[in-house]
Chain A
């Protein structure tokens, strides 16, 4: 964003609000980038010769004679193979030193893929976490968020998923990431020797919040380069989308827009879907899979951010502390992967769908037994066994510290069935029971 010869400079700012300035200028395009008193800004409204700019870092100290320079183009990102292994800020500028590589500049927030050109997602992404692979299998080209309260270790789980997912590239978009979490991600990827296939775009809590709005588009422009141009399998991690939505609310408020539910802008659904719908399975074999984090307030999913997200994404993963085992588990009731039926039992072992359903049903029976116990009713023998099963199931399968392949998960499930239940209680199709029910030692 260096100053170039043909750029016009304006020095008469008319209005200044906390986030925007207005200046009289001509021949300015919508969405165009500019600098206001040396700070990056973007055109958000044109009214006659009056141009309103959103100043990302805020307008503190901007004076009416500050220089406004228009760059004549929307935000761009230089894409190339050299992106990999580097860390950038929200404007796509390298965070450490000078990063030089061959590539071309591309506008961020580009057009959408023609729905007719999409392929149906069909590739299973194993993560080693049974709460995901067994009950909520992920599929390439899927978009799915973690719904988690701020105290839950969602960033750790996401880093784990990213490393195990066998993606060609991992692109991390950090929005309002604490510096500690940012360093955590960096160290984890570094230790795993994966840094060279990772691209970071980071806005930490130390940076102005409005800058965050550029992060998902930057991350996805990089992702599209690797997936579309190179045919690679790209995993995009976005954390935390709730903070992204907060930044949207700030801007829309400053632009005098009428807020809708939970003070969020009326366009929240469209704003979020523009990001999530970039997830795609391409005809050339490349794919973009998006795993995001939406933090909740006390588990409330009716808030506008998780609510709109749920309507857009293909399922959601809930993390929960399990009081029986003291571990963090992936909640089998509230979590859902809408695309799982495209792979389970097809790309995984044939007994996968039935085992998954049976285990969740038995786990639900245990939950019923627990309620009975709490209400002071007597437990039947079946209830007792269900409770024991639930404990083992939670510890050996649902817990997020489990790391095994999907066949092993299925074997463990069968062993637990055999340990606590009869074949008719498990009620799985006879031919599968015949084949997989553990033989008595």
Chain B
């Protein structure tokens, strides 16, 4: 029998409930008010009083409003048909809601329960299986969606029966499994999973060993993110966080992309679902929307569901990872989620941590980031969840709790600089403050040596040094004046500008420049590093700047041309000639 209760107190979206039976932490309950049932989650229990955060407006809630507890935590529904959907934070299918406004208490099915799928069995009768073992597959968009033993199944099972190849409804039983005690369990194409628990149905989680390309030079070459890695992008407003995330979501080399719009502008989500059905995935040629699922809890949607949205995204990501796919989750922005935690912590009258955020903020964030990763699957093969979150630091100040907590958890740090954004140097990723821990991984170094060229990481380090020295030279020039420093200071400065303008900057609105393949990055990087290794002789500082400006212009034309096209080669030749013709120091 379900536990029930009555509302005894309301403060904004925090409700206290007197319960008549057992209730568990994070259990879901429904509060009835004026004919609607509002979903809420228990966040604290004190004797027979439970505190719950309501995922909707609590307007009109009264003392004595009846509450029903569901006996489970917040769950996602997993099965074929998730791709291309637009969900809210609680996995309601926004496209199939009729009314213009999101009426409170209206929930719908995340999957189409009437849909049928072409099922091909993988497991055979008599096979021993466990949670996440593949039983069969159905085609979903262009991927092979595996129907697995539900993650919640513990121990091993024998396949008692499995249906033949054919078309089945999503709710039909496709297999019967017998557990160790001889009980039978029916399995359909649908399973449920509590979002706040990590899916651990995999063999093990090795260190990431491959680079995931994003088509962005400042990331892939300078600070690459690993397949199964974590990264975050902090930046003040107007620094281009969202443009950068959208660029990654369009170009990244992943099978499935989950875009979690957490507490951000609704029009940005509109942009994705208007444009993605039109744009091609550069890796497969299919439409981008076919590999994308949007989970949106925009800033005006209920605050408590913001937290739910990032977990819903992660749980769906883990599900697709178990099918052996490369999943990328982009969350914009995790600061809004942290703020939602702060609002609740405040209403619970907990003692505040820094900037009134809850004390365990940092633990919550690292726990969440740790769910990403490359895994060896139970049936062999690998799958990965790569996670990139944006952070919106208050006042653009990176010394604030959310940025600092995330820095402890994420392995890549892409700092967007206001200064770069102001001078329109996009993407505004600061080349000196940003870092990727993966560059230090021997596995990744090996991968880069094998796939790019020998000594690649050393070369990247050299490039970073050039940028660093250029910045120092620039400061000297500013203090002492153009004439006040030796010409080689100018040369140093211009070499760093060369790397900045021709490599770090990238035009995300230009069709060709927006997406730079790894092969092309390798080629361009080698060209630039060869130029930087030259010891040019300049007459004076003006002569120096004219030479480099011309070089920059030519190389940028290369960036705007199709790789290896005649036009590209023509500019390439011009660049090499200009470099060869330039007098060198002895």
Contacts and interface: CB of A to CB of B under 8 A. Distances in A.
Contacts of B265: 277, 312, 314
B346 A258 contact: yes
Given A115-B270, A116-B94, A333 B63 contact: no
A12 B424 CA distance: 63
Interface in A320-367: 333, 336, 339, 341
Given A30-B59, A312-B265, A116 B395 contact: no
Given A116-B94, A311-B237, A311-B392, A266 B63 contact: no
Interface string A98-132: 00000000010111111111111100000000000
Interface string B251-268: 000000000000101110
Contact of B300 (A44, A277, A307, A314): A277
Contacts of B300: 112, 273-274, 276-278
A74 B396 CA distance: 38
Contacts of A5: none
Contacts of A333: 422
Contact of A115 (B8, B12, B296): B296
Nearest to A117: B100
Contacts of B352: 258
A257 B101 contact: no
Contacts of B271: 120
Contacts of A257: 346-347
B102 interface: yes
Contacts of A45: 9-11
B342 A266 contact: yes
Q: Which of A141, A270, A314 neighbours the largest number of chain B CB atoms within 10 Å of its CB?
A: A270
B444 to A, nearest CB: 34
Nearest to A139: B267
Contact of A46 (B10, B101, B303, B422): B10
Given A274-B300, A282-B100, A269 B267 contact: no
A261 B267 contact: no
Contacts of B237: 307, 310-311
B442 interface: no
B512 interface: no
Contact of B101 (A112, A273, A276): A112
B63 A46 contact: yes
A114 B8 contact: no
Q: Which of A74, A257, A273, A311 neighbours the largest number of chain B CB atoms within 10 Å of its CB?
A: A311
Interface in A269-327: 269-270, 273-274, 276-278, 280, 282-283, 302-304, 307-308, 310-312, 314
Contacts of A30: 10, 58-62
A74 B34 CA distance: 13
A113 B101 CA distance: 4
A388 B435 CA distance: 44
Given A270-B299, A273-B299, A259 B356 contact: yes
B339 A339 contact: no
Nearest to A272: B299
A111 B356 CA distance: 28
Contact of B356 (A119, A266, A377): A266
B125 interface: no
Contacts of B95: 116
B19 interface: no
Contacts of A118: 266-267, 270
Contacts of A49: 63
Contacts of A277: 265-266, 298-300
B57 interface: yes
Interface stretch (A21-29, A81-89, A174-182): A21-29
Given A47-B8, A48-B9, A118-B266, A29 B101 contact: no
B47 interface: no
A370 B16 CA distance: 63
Contact of A310 (B63, B238, B340, B347): B238
Q: Which of B33, B100, B301 neighbours the largest number of chain A CB atoms within 10 Å of its CB?
A: B100
Interface in B335-384: 336, 339-340, 342-343, 346-347, 352, 355-356
Interface residues of A, number: 61
B549 interface: no
A291 to B, nearest CB: 16
Given A116-B95, A304-B394, A339-B267, A258 B59 contact: no
A333 B99 CA distance: 41
Contact of B267 (A31, A121, A283, A307): A121
Interface string B459-503: 000000000000000000000010000000000000000000000
Interface in B252-311: 263, 265-267, 269-271, 273-274, 296, 298-301, 303
A267 B341 CA distance: 10
Interface string B73-116: 00000000000001000000011010111111000000000000
B356 A115 contact: no
A114 B59 CA distance: 19
Contacts of B103: 111
B356 A314 contact: no
Contacts of B236: 310
Interface residues on B, range: 35 or more
Contacts of B397: 302
A228 interface: yes
Contact of B274 (A47, A120, A270): A120
A282 B336 CA distance: 26
A383 B346 CA distance: 56
Contacts of A31: 58-60
Given A111-B103, A112-B102, A270-B299, A119 B270 contact: yes
A363 to B, nearest CB: 13
Contacts of A401: none
Given A111-B102, A112-B101, A113-B102, A46 B62 contact: yes
Contact of B61 (A29, A276, A280, A304): A29
B297 to A, nearest CB: 9
A280 B102 CA distance: 14
A168 interface: no
A187 interface: no
Given A46-B9, A267-B343, A307-B395, A258 B356 contact: yes
A17 interface: no
B302 to A, nearest CB: 9
A156 interface: no
B396 A28 contact: no
A152 interface: no
Interface in A17-64: 26-32, 44-49
Nearest to B300: A277
Contacts of A27: 62-64
Q: Which of B8, B62, B481 neighbours the largest number of chain A CB atoms within 10 Å of its CB?
A: B62
A7 interface: no
Contacts of A74: 59-60
Nearest to B100: A117
Contacts of B12: 44, 267
A314 B63 contact: no
B292 to A, nearest CB: 14
Interface of B: 7-12, 16, 33, 57-64, 86, 94-95, 97, 99-104, 236-238, 263, 265-267, 269-271, 273-274, 296, 298-301, 303, 336, 339-340, 342-343, 346-347, 352, 355-356, 392, 394-397, 422, 481, 509
The 3 closest A-B pairs by CB, nearest first: A302-B395, A273-B299, A277-B300
9 contacts: A26-B64, A107-B59, A114-B97, A114-B99, A114-B100, A118-B270, A269-B336, A304-B394, A312-B299
Given A277-B298, A277-B299, 19 more contacts: A30-B61, A44-B12, A46-B10, A46-B61, A48-B8, A109-B59, A111-B57, A111-B101, A111-B103, A115-B269, A116-B94, A258-B352, A260-B342, A260-B355, A266-B346, A267-B346, A269-B263, A276-B300, A336-B238
